Structure 1
Amino acid sequence: MPQPHDVPSARDLVTAVREFLENDVLATLEGRTRFHGLVAVNVLGMVERELDLGESQAQAHQSRLSSLGFTNDADLAAAIREGRLDDRYPELKSALLEAVRDKLAVANPAYTA
């Protein structure tokens, strides 16, 4: 199916800006400005990973919710608070660990190693 936007894609643009900051700008910065430059590079990396993984992660998350009998995180959280899933602890723990792994894969993949 053809894309509605021409090249470069949003991912290509984000990658280009991240690489420019990493390769050309950061070396010229010091102190607070360098710190904020590093933060910007990290944020752009997160956006890249979310663009790559987001759709499949969203589907996996919805599947996990459905397998537990919920349609959204708020209802799941309420059920956990109320103790309605206490008898399904292994299943709940597995689903929550997978959700955290997905979040870390976007936020900082090094944490999952």
Structure 2
Amino acid sequence: MDEPTGAELLGTVARYLRETLLPKLPPEAVFHTRVAANAVDLVRRQLELGAGLETEELARLRALLGREGSLDELNRALSERISAGELGERTPGLMEHLWATTLAKMAVDQPAYASYRRELELRQGEGAEPSGG
């Protein structure tokens, strides 16, 4: 039998904090335990989704900018070109890239956020593939 992944272990810790420990804690410890469980879940989602989402973002940036580079380099170049007015909302692919990147970050940081969920539902209804949601 395979060992559990780091993400699976973190999921187990978060469930333990919420389902077993939290109901037994005094009120003054509940908030901090929820914060800890949320932090564990955030790291779990980073492990599960992060590399794939970064790969997708890098591919979009390379296509949009027509050049190679690291994720940081290409994001910096994108920001500079937007700031200089070279790229804007009418640039083919730019707005979709920005939305996809935002939704990917939300998938890791705040997947239960109501506006994020609505946008995913809207995009799925339009046939667009959400990134990492």
Aligned to 2:55, which of 59, 67, 74? Answer: 59
Identity of aligned residues (%): 32
- 2:47 aligned with 1:45, yes or no? no
More deviation in 78-87 or 93-102? 78-87
**Deviation (angstroms), 1:10:** 1.1
Cα RMSD, aligned residues only: 1.9
* 1:90-109 alignment runs, 5 A limit: 90-109=92-111
- Is the 8 Å Cα contact of residues 89 and 95 (structure 2) preserved in structure 1? no
- Per the alignment, residue 85 of structure 2 pairs with 83
For 1:13 and 1:49, the matched residues in 2 are separated by: 12
Of Structure 1 and Structure 2, the greater helix share is in 1
For 2:3 and 2:92, the matched residues in 1 are separated by: 46
Check 1:11–1:86 CA distance in 2 against 1; reply closer, same or farther (3 A cut): closer
Aligned to 1:26, which of 22, 31, 36? Answer: 22
Letter in 2 for 1:81: S
More deviation in 11-20 or 70-79? 70-79
Equivalenced residues, count: 107
Letter in 1 for 2:61: L
Query: What 5-or-longer segments of structure 2 have no aligned partner?
Result: 118-133
Letter in 1 for 2:44: E
**Deviation (angstroms), 1:88:** 4.1
More deviation in 85-94 or 12-21? 85-94
Query: What 5-or-longer segments of structure 1 have no aligned partner?
Result: 1-5
- Is the 8 Å Cα contact of residues 81 and 87 (structure 2) preserved in structure 1? yes
**Deviation (angstroms), 1:87:** 7.0
Letter in 2 for 1:83: G
Q: TM-score, normalised by structure 1?
A: 0.81
Residue deviations 1:17-60 (CA, integer Å, cap 9, x gap): 111101111112313x2111111111211222222212221111
For 1:14 and 1:87, the matched residues in 2 are separated by: 40
